[in-house]
Amino acid sequence: SSSNLVAPNATQVTSSANLLSPAPVPSTERVFIPIATALKRPSHECNDIDVIGDVKGQHCYIVDTVIDEAVNATTVAKKLKQGGAIRVTVVATHALLSSAAALDLIEQAWIDELIVTDTIEQDEALKRPEVAKKLRILSVAPLLAEAVQRLHSDNCLSTLFDR
Report yes or no: 120 and 66 within 8 Å, Cβ to Cβ: no
**Within its chain, how far is the Cα of 162 from the centroid?**
20
Q: What is the pLDDT of residues 77-95, one digit of tens each?
A: 999 999 999 999 999 999 9
Give the global pTM. Answer: 0.80
Q: How far apart are CA 157 and CA 96, in angstroms?
A: 27
Report yes or no: 103 and 124 within 8 Å, Cβ to Cβ: yes
Q: pLDDT tens per residue, the chain (163 residues)?
A: 677 777 776 666 666 666 655 555 455 555 556 666 655 455 444 456 778 888 899 999 998 889 999 998 998 999 999 999 999 999 999 999 989 999 999 999 999 999 999 999 999 999 999 999 999 999 999 999 999 999 999 888 888 877 5
Catalytic residue among 40, 56, 127, 133: 40
Q: How far apart are CA 135 and CA 119, in angstroms?
A: 14
Q: Is 40 marked active-site? A: yes
Report yes or no: 52 and 70 within 8 Å, Cβ to Cβ: no
